[in-house]
Amino acid sequence: MLRRFRPYFHYLREHRSLLLLGILCGVISGIATGAGLPLMVDRVFPVVFGANAAPLSNWQLAVVVLWLPLVFTLRGVFGYLNAYLIQLAGTRVLESIRRDFFRKLQVLPLSFFGRHSSGDLISRGLADANQLQFTLTTVANEIVKSPATLVGAIGVIAYKAYQIDGLSLVLVCLAAVPLTVLPIRHIGKKLARRSGSIQRELGAVSSRFNENLAAAREIRAFGLEDRETARFSLVTRALITAQMKFVKYEKALAPMIEIISTLGIAGTLLYAYRIHLDLPTFMALITALYASYEPVKRLGALNNETKRGLGALDRLEAILNEPVTIKDPPQPVPVSRLRGEIAFSGVTFAYGDSPALSDVTVTIPAGTVCALVGPSGAGKSTFANLVPRFYEVGAGAVTIDGIDVRQMKLADLRRHIALVSQEPVLFNDTIYENLRLGREGATRDEIMAAAVDAHADEFIRQLPLGYETIVGERGALLSGGQKQRVAIARAFLRHAPILILDEATSALDSDSEAAVQDALRKLVQGKTVLIIAHRFSTIRDASQILVFDRGRIAASGDHTALYAGNALYKSLYDRQSAHGAQ
Ligand code: ADP
């Protein structure tokens, strides 16, 4: 079982001395528990209660009565140090696992997020990591102390037995110990399977939560409150069922071990009667026996807890070991400054089975504006997503200035691209920090200048705290047009030769609209621009228009040529014009 944790041992290296000290403290505490109590029964009781005991001097009496507090102080203080020190090391490991998990989420390809719901991923990062933490805590408390207690107690039994009768008494006393292994193994196996399903169900509950919270508006608009609650009840019921199956077995273990251990005590009673054992010796043996079964019980429970922790580790590792398919090439082509000529040659791409792009070949000269048009689902966004290498082409190649995007470092490639999406995402931070994301290392003056260029400065200054205003989750305190302008300012800051622009479909208020359009006109100058176009004004200004239809480029050219020669384009354009004229 420890093998599973081996990859994480290196995290412990810097805490090695603490860990060793912790283990030492555990041994002292365990032996104090296992041997201290039986020895007290053996030594102290006869002195105090023995029929023919000699009267004690004051200091002898003090030593005798202080034996118990002494044992418990040793057990308590060293037990505390043991738990604290080992847990310190354990939580450091956990912290590293959790950080690695989060870091991994930053570099996984976007296709990964199509396969995993964010609720499930959050559940792995929080609930599974918590489970693992709990396991480490429990294990830390017992893993050294319990075996040491067991050794201490067995030591006392062996010592007493040696004085009286030799080996046979030891064997009789401990006869039941091997039997306790049976339920531990059996139940452990059952639990291993069930703990995985608990964590899975937790993931499902978390997904439901997440999806529901993200759709608060729709749920109210469509009157889905009851349906959602019913759907939520289903997953919570499944979670509870999984948990109860676990509890059913988990709670059976301790009583089973106790019952089996009483067989050992019964055997000892019988034997004691046969060989006329005196009461104090018998009491010492029974205390030692009790002290030895207790750690067995705990180790059994520990075994279960470890199974549970491993279930959680499995779910964390499933993500940690997920291959990062989109990464830097081993020998990247050095890139200083790209001009921005984009070329697709024979590009085919599929998200799943059916292709979203088939055999697309086109060149977009540097410094020109290219509009992507076509019905929804035709492949426009997919085309744009392949340029920053958000996805990997299935066949063919995407090149910039003749260099395959797969041959550049991702950071080099993406440094040359600015992205303005339909619904820009802002972080829950100040406007200033949100702007600064545009380029690491931008100065305050540059940031302000970008805001001015994007027509964002004017509204920002009217906010209560100006640039220091916090924008709320995903920028909730700003209007759609304001968020767009912040996104445009970020794009200005980036100074990238390539600009990918997903035009907003939703109508902005007319002031915002004019400001956004003006800012965009300035932004696109001198850049290679890909616009996923929803407006006819943009289309008409483009030097090249690509008409997408079911994953292919059905036609390309400028507006006049396409309007005259392509029926799909004509119908799209006429529809947009009618829409625009409304
Ligand atoms: P457009 O931008 O022209 O509306 P897209 O490029 O978004 O079209 O989509 C092209 C095709 O790929 C569609 O059939 C769409 O359903 C599919 N698709 C788009 N994004 C994904 C995704 N993340 N996972 C799976 N399929 C997708």
**Are the CB atoms for 135 and 306 separated by under 8 Å?**
yes
354 lines ligand 1 (CB under 6 A): no
Q: What is the CATH number of the domain that holds 543?
A: 3.40.50.300
Give the model's pLDDT for residue 169. Answer: 72
End-to-end CA distance of the chain, in Å? 69
* Domain presence at residue 326: no
Long-range contacts at 227-236 (CB < 8 A, ≥ 24 apart):
232/205, 232/208, 235/201, 235/204, 235/205, 235/208, 236/205
**Are the CB atoms for 207 and 117 separated by under 8 Å?**
yes
Whether residues 248 and 378 fall in one domain: no
Last residue of a domain, one of 262, 287, 320: 320
Q: With b meaning 16 or more CB within 10 Å and e meaning fewer, what string describes 250-278?
A: beebeebbeebbeebbebbeebbeeeebe
Q: How far is the CA of 379 from the centre of ligand 1 (A)?
A: 6
374 lines ligand 1 (CB under 6 A): yes
384 lines ligand 1 (CB under 6 A): no
Residue closest by Cα to atom 10 of ligand 1: 379
379 lines ligand 1 (CB under 6 A): yes
Q: How far is the CA of 484 from the centre of ligand 1 (A)?
A: 23
Atom of ligand 1 minimally distant from the CA of 379: 6
Express as a percent the part of the chain with pLDDT over 90: 24
Beta strands at 544-549 and 369-373: parallel, antiparallel or unpaired: parallel
Whether residues 388 and 277 fall in one domain: no
Q: With b meaning 16 or more CB within 10 Å and e meaning fewer, what string describes 499-532?
A: bbbbbbeeebeeebeebbeebbeebbeebbbbbb
Give the model's pLDDT for residue 102. Answer: 93
Return the beta strands (E) in 433-579 as ranges: 498-502, 528-532, 544-549, 552-557
d(CA 373, CA 569): 8
Whether residues 15 and 107 fall in one domain: yes
Q: What is the CATH number of the domain that holds 232?
A: 1.20.1560.10
Lowest mean pLDDT among 312-321, 326-335, 419-428, 542-551: 419-428
Q: Among residues 29, 136, 16, which one has the least CA distance to residue 81? A: 29
Residue closest by Cα to atom 7 of ligand 1: 381
Residue closest by Cα to atom 26 of ligand 1: 351
**Are the CB atoms for 179 and 300 separated by under 8 Å?**
no
378 lines ligand 1 (CB under 6 A): yes
More confident call, 100 vs 44: 100
Q: How far is the CA of 112 from the centre of ligand 1 (A)?
A: 15
Lowest mean pLDDT among 28-32, 203-207, 252-256, 573-577: 573-577
Question: Which tokens in the block code for residue 142?
Answer: 């017992």
- ∠197-203-207 over CA atoms, to 5°? 145
Whether residues 394 and 508 fall in one domain: yes
Q: What is the DSSP string of 109-154?
A: -HHHHHHS-HHHHHHIIIIIHHHHHHHHHHHHHHTTHHHHHHHHHH
Give the model's pLDDT for residue 581. Answer: 41
Give the model's pLDDT for residue 71. Answer: 87
Lowest mean pLDDT among 102-116, 125-139, 309-323, 324-338: 125-139
Whether residues 286 and 408 fall in one domain: no
Residue 27's φ and ψ, nearest 5 degrees, are -65, -45
Q: Which residues pair with 502 in a beta bridge?
A: 532
pLDDT in tens, 382-435: 999 999 999 999 999 999 999 999 999 999 999 999 998 888 888 888 899 888
Q: Among residues 539, 370, 543, which one has the least CA distance to residue 360? A: 370
Q: How far is the CA of 193 from the centre of ligand 1 (A)?
A: 38
Instruction: Report the number of distinct structural domains present in the chain.
Output: 2
Categorize the per-residue pLDDT at 506 as very low, low, confident or very high, splitting at 50, 70 and 90.
low
Lowest mean pLDDT among 79-93, 344-358, 441-455: 79-93
376 lines ligand 1 (CB under 6 A): yes
* Domain presence at residue 545: yes
Q: How many residues are there in the chain?
A: 582
Whether residues 188 and 69 fall in one domain: yes
* Domain presence at residue 330: no
Mean pLDDT of 321-330: 91
Whether residues 260 and 375 fall in one domain: no
Residue closest by Cα to atom 19 of ligand 1: 382
Q: How far is the CA of 351 from the centre of ligand 1 (A)?
A: 8
Residue closest by Cα to atom 14 of ligand 1: 377
* Domain presence at residue 333: no
Residue 565's φ and ψ, nearest 5 degrees, are -110, -5
Categorize the per-residue pLDDT at 505 as very low, low, confident or very high, splitting at 50, 70 and 90.
low
Whether residues 548 and 470 fall in one domain: yes
More confident call, 579 vs 158: 158
Q: How far is the CA of 350 from the centre of ligand 1 (A)?
A: 9
In the predicted model, what is the mean pLDDT of the chain? 85
* Domain presence at residue 329: no
Mean pLDDT of 324-347: 91
Atom of ligand 1 minimally distant from the CA of 357: 10
Atom of ligand 1 minimally distant from the CA of 375: 3
Is residue 375 predicted with pLDDT exceeding 90?
no
377 lines ligand 1 (CB under 6 A): yes
Residue closest by Cα to atom 13 of ligand 1: 377
Give the model's pLDDT for residue 2. Answer: 64
Name the helix (H) or strand (E) containing 71.
helix 58-107
Mean pLDDT of 223-237: 92
Express as a percent the part of the chain with pLDDT over 70: 95
Longest dimension (CA), the chain: 122
More confident call, 179 vs 392: 392
* Domain presence at residue 570: yes
* Domain presence at residue 289: yes
Q: Among residues 256, 287, 46, 301, which one has the least CA distance to residue 154? A: 287
Residue closest by Cα to atom 6 of ligand 1: 379
Q: How far is the CA of 111 from the centre of ligand 1 (A)?
A: 12
Amino acid of residue 85: L
Last residue of a domain, one of 287, 320, 353: 320
Categorize the per-residue pLDDT at 484 as very low, low, confident or very high, splitting at 50, 70 and 90.
confident
351 lines ligand 1 (CB under 6 A): yes
* Domain presence at residue 514: yes
Q: Among residues 87, 91, 74, 77, which one has the least CA distance to residue 39? A: 74
356 lines ligand 1 (CB under 6 A): yes
Beta strands at 552-557 and 498-502: parallel, antiparallel or unpaired: unpaired
Whether residues 225 and 350 fall in one domain: no
8-state DSSP, 340: -
Q: How far is the CA of 385 from the centre of ligand 1 (A)?
A: 10
Question: Which tokens in the block code for residue 5?
Answer: 């944790």
3-class DSSP state of 327: coil
Categorize the per-residue pLDDT at 1 as very low, low, confident or very high, splitting at 50, 70 and 90.
low
Whether residues 152 and 280 fall in one domain: yes
381 lines ligand 1 (CB under 6 A): yes
Give the model's pLDDT for residue 191. Answer: 84
Whether residues 316 and 371 fall in one domain: no
Whether residues 349 and 316 fall in one domain: no
DSSP H helices, 275-400, are 279-320, 380-386
Is residue 582 predicted with pLDDT exceeding 50?
no
Q: Which residues span the domain enclosing 463?
A: 342-581
Residue 441 burial by CB count (10 A; 0-12/13-18/19+): exposed, middle or buried?
exposed
